[in-house]
Chain A
Amino acid sequence: MTVDIGRTAKPPGRIRTALARHWYAWAMVAPVVIVLGLIIGYPLGRGVYLSLTDADETNVERTIGINHLPATYRFTGLDNFTAVLKDEVFLDRLLWTVTWTVSCVAVTFCLGLGLAVLLNRRFAGRAVYRSLLILPWAVPAFVSVFAWRLLYNERNGILNKLLDGGGIDAVPWLNDPTLAKVSVIAVNVWIGVPFMLVALLGGLQSIPGERYEAAEMDGASPWQRFRHITLPGLRAVSSTVVLLSTIWTFNMFPVIYLLTRGGPGDTTEILVTYAYRISFVNSPRDYAGASAWGVLILLILLLFAVVYRRALRKQGEV
């Protein structure tokens, strides 16, 4: 029941015609539109406004006990943005965020694909392997991060104890700038592989087996079959999962925040966690600066979303 109309309606009573045809569809989407307008539209507008002021912890409107203090911050135009963009911190964090996102997604995808290909055949124990491999997805991410902190612990963690048994000195997993970066990526990959694996396995199973049989008859090698049947067959699924996991990784707050708090120094701080640091960890809390970071992050993501939309449109979605 595809009710397609609206554009073709002619002026006399055009709005009324549209209303008569579409009122139920509009009524059905109304709750979401209203709720999102209230809880996202309004805060978003306020965030943009805050980014143009000098608001911080000491001058915003707030209620302490029964005392109500009015706001005293001032409008300062684009000062925050020029300050952020002149500062090298933003570029540094952006660079690391992109590195972090690209390496996490690439490694996760390759591991997920490899394991999916291995699991996409009949053999004893397949179901057991599958359930073991997706376990990391079942555990809430913040719990997994604490599990990894237990393993990474420099003085007493099991990883260093094992290395010690092999005669290797303790490794500062989370306290050396470079190693900390590798460690956070490893944890995020560990968390992300199961989703890739399950999604790609579903994609593999939807590729008709006859194609492989035909290719085999034509004498195609395993690599050729993978290259010319498996990969094209996975295009639709993989473009979706790669985009989803790119967005998730870009915004992956808990892994960084709980594993290293962005440290040592601010070397593992991604854009999202750094904005959080400005607004809630540093003192005084710089709400205006954090809002400016937020707006910049939003612009980056919107740019990405435009590309995303184009990719989806190619697939005939949206």
Chain B
Amino acid sequence: MRDRRRGPLASIGLHTTLILASAVAVFPPLWLLVTSFKPKGEAFSTDVIKDPTLGNYGHVLGDTEFPTWFGNSLLVVGCTTVLGVFIAATTGYAVSRFRFPGMRPLMWLLLVIQMFPVAILIVPLYTIMSTLGWLNQPVSLIVTYLTVAVPFCAWMMKGYFDTIPVDIDESGRVDGLNPFGAFWRLVVPLAKPGIAVTAFYTFITAWAEVAYASAFMTGEENLTLAAGLQTFVNQYTSDWGAMTAAAVMIATPAALVFAWVQRHLVAGLTAGATKS
């Protein structure tokens, strides 16, 4: 970071640019928040705050399936996160520490799978779920989200394990621990922050998944939040008030979690690049 003198003109230019950019960044969510407090039927009035009301929130929580969707989302996303981290943890460690036959293809595979678009897997997964009779069941989304979560978690955790000095495992091995023991007793406790970041980012990603959720779940009571939010504003109805209130309630927990993990997140995502 440099610390040089700036002329007043440069200073004004710097702040003007940043204020403008910040305004653009903040305005859409802010407007969503403001709109959510407007009385029913006045979603589009330009008065910033005239008769603020919690009516939209009451309506969403009381008269719609929103609480059910919230529960569905929590269940699906929670299971995905726990299973994803659990399945992927040892793999992240193995590819971080050992050179073994099959390692390069495995890393390659983990990368390539993350590039898989929904378009390739969605149809076969849909027909498989339909054959199994799992459509409209949370389990179908959990299995589906794992296709994204497992490679992602393995990749992220490898990055975190790379930052833990190998001396630690080695001293454990000298003390008679086998590789599993060294991993479980020494490395996992040290990697807890990294594992937490991986888990929370998986959580946020699955929380915001739209395509599978819209295709696999039908019937009001089976939807997740991402699919449910679409029902407020579509070609038949447009209840913008309810939509904005629901959106605020969906975004707030995600944003709080995000604020907490974001500092560590970029380090994980770009771990390969910043390492010399």
Spell out A's residues near B (CB within 8 Å): 1-7, 18, 21-22, 24-29, 31-33, 35-36, 39-40, 42-44, 46-47, 50, 55, 60-63, 115, 118-123, 125, 129, 131-144, 146-151, 153, 156-158, 161, 190, 193-195, 198-199, 202-203, 205-206, 209, 212, 236-237, 239-241, 244, 247, 250-251, 253-254, 257-258, 271-272, 275-276, 279-280, 287, 290-291, 293-295, 297-298, 301-302, 304-305, 308-309, 312, 315, 317-318
Chain A neighbourhood of B229, CB < 8 A: 142-143, 146
Q: What's the least CB distance linking B122 to chain A, in Å?
A: 7
With A129-B22, A143-B32 known as contacts, the answer to whether A247 contacts B115 (CB < 8 A) is yes
B255 contacts A279, C-beta separation under 8 Å: no
Q: Mark B153-181, 1 if CB is under 8 A from A, else 0.
A: 01000000000001001100100001110
Give the distance in Å from the alpha carbon of A267 to the alpha carbon of B121 in the complex: 24
The answer to the question of B53 belonging to the interface, with a C-beta cut-off of 8 Å to chain A, is no
Contact partner of A63 among B131, B151, B210, CB < 8 A? B131
With A135-B25, A151-B28 known as contacts, the answer to whether A39 contacts B262 (CB < 8 A) is no
> Which secondary structure characterizes the binding site on chain B?
helix
Give the distance in Å from the alpha carbon of A209 to the alpha carbon of B27 in the complex: 35
A202 contacts B1, C-beta separation under 8 Å: no
B122 contacts A46, C-beta separation under 8 Å: no
Give the distance in Å from the alpha carbon of A31 to the alpha carbon of B143 in the complex: 14
Sample 19 A-B pairs with CB under 8 A, ordered by A number: A1-B173, A21-B100, A25-B94, A25-B100, A28-B180, A29-B102, A32-B87, A36-B109, A39-B144, A63-B133, A140-B254, A150-B244, A199-B270, A247-B115, A275-B122, A287-B126, A287-B127, A294-B120, A312-B272
A304 contacts B115, C-beta separation under 8 Å: yes
Q: What's the least CB distance linking B218 to chain A, in Å?
A: 11
The answer to the question of B124 belonging to the interface, with a C-beta cut-off of 8 Å to chain A, is yes
Residue of A nearest to B144 (CB): A39
Chain B contacts with A in 29-52, Cβ cutoff 8 A? 29, 31-32, 35, 43-44, 46
